[in-house]
Structure 1
Amino acid sequence: MVAEVEVPAGFVPQYAVAFGAVDGPAVAVQADNPLPVHAVRRPAQSAPLAGTIVSSAIVGPFVPELDRPIWLSLSGQWQGQVDFLRSADGGATMLPLTIAGERWGRFVGGTNEAVADESEAGATYYLAVTLLGGALTYRVAQ
């Protein structure tokens, strides 16, 4: 049952959230009557980590914005592997991504995919690049 507040009442004391037309009744917000809005998300404020590398190195850190997917793009003519690493202590310890205890986030060719979604403030990401030849162009961004 939906209780309505009739005009001319200008407020709805018994409901925390309600809405209605200027000349119509206020109706409670509920599953069958949601607010007529949609979330607007601003562009991510995190600075992308991007460049081209021709020798093995650790690249980073990438400091993500919370609750957004992190995208990794690898391209170019290169041979070797790239491990996507996460740190929760400012880079002192960098750990590989895993799923059910198995290593994940190791790439041996071009890619363009979401690799993580961070929820812990202060976490940072790195690329451990082991190049056997060529030049790798990388980009970590949100």
Structure 2
Amino acid sequence: MVAEVEVPAGFVPQYAVAFGAVDGPAVAVQADNPLPVRAVPRPAQSAPLAGTIVSSAIVGPFVPELDRPIWLSLSGQWHGQVDFLRSADGGATMLPLTIAGERWGRFVGSTNEAVADESEAGATYYLAVTLLGGALTYRVAQ
């Protein structure tokens, strides 16, 4: 909304958020003139799931924060397969990730990538590790 300053007043009281430039007048915040800020996310508070294993096992749970990417890192001298699993019932049922009905989230070599972005409260993640040899170092974090 734009309003003219009428005489005898030399000012317009602002009853909305406004900001000013160093060398200019205050300007009301509106759709065409937003606050000059950007959102800065805080560091994730979820505890990473990390370790090294030398035999087959199911590792977890990893409890993610919502609306943040989940990163999986697998490294070391190892042979086998790792499946990234999701549970919505506290681990009673662990299901593989899929895309268009096809299994996804199965790894047979070292990796470092974002694998999921969770939006459901209470969902947890697990690694189903089938080792044929070597030692696998893993990390699931945000």
Indicate how the Cα distance of structure 1 residues 9 and 115 shifts in structure 2: closer, same or farther if over 3 A, else same: farther
1:7–1:25 Cα contact (<8 Å) kept? no
String of CA shifts for 1:80-133, please: whole Å, max 9, x gaps: 100000000000000000000000000000000000011111100000000111
Alpha-carbon spacing, 1:126–1:4, altered in 2? closer, same or farther (3 Å): farther
TM-score, normalised by the number of residues in structure 2: 0.84
SS in 2 for 1:115: strand
1:14–1:52 Cα change, 3 Å: same
Q: Distance in 2 between matches of 1:37 and 1:47?
A: 29
Alignment of 1:1-142 (within 5 A): 2=2, 17-20=17-20, 26-142=26-142
d(CA) in 1 for partners of 2:8, 2:55: 74
Q: How many residues align?
A: 142
Quote the Cα distance in structure 1 between the aligned partners of 2:6 and 2:62: 54
Rounded to whole Å, the distance in 1 between the matches of 2:80 and 2:106 is: 10
The structure-2 alpha-carbon separation of the partners of 1:32 and 1:72, relative to structure 1 and needing over 3 Å to count, comes to: same
Verify the 8 A CA contact 1:4 1:26 in the aligned structure 2.
Answer: no
Unaligned runs of 5+ in 1: none
Residue pair 1:83, 1:105 contacting (<8 A) in 2 also? yes
- For the 8 Å contact 1:18–1:29, the answer to whether it is kept is yes
The answer on whether the counterparts of 1:5 and 1:27 sit within 8 Å (CA) in structure 2 is: no
* SS of structure 2 residue aligned to 1:5: coil
Deviation at 1:24, TM superposition (A): 6.3
1:33, distance to aligned residue in structure 2 (A): 1.2
Identity %: 97
Unpaired runs of 5+ residues, structure 2, are: none
Structure 1 position 38, deviation (Å): 1.3
1:95/1:37 CA distance change after superposition, 3 Å: same
Which has the larger Rg?
2
Distance 1:25 1:62, change over 3 A: same
How far residue 20 of structure 1 moved from its aligned partner, in angstroms, is 3.8
With over 3 angstroms needed to count, the CA separation of the structure-2 counterparts of 1:18 and 1:131, relative to structure 1, is: same
Calculate the aligned-residue CA RMSD, in Å.
3.3
Q: TM-score, normalised by structure 1?
A: 0.84
Q: How far apart are the structure 1 equivalents of 2:7 and 2:81?
A: 68
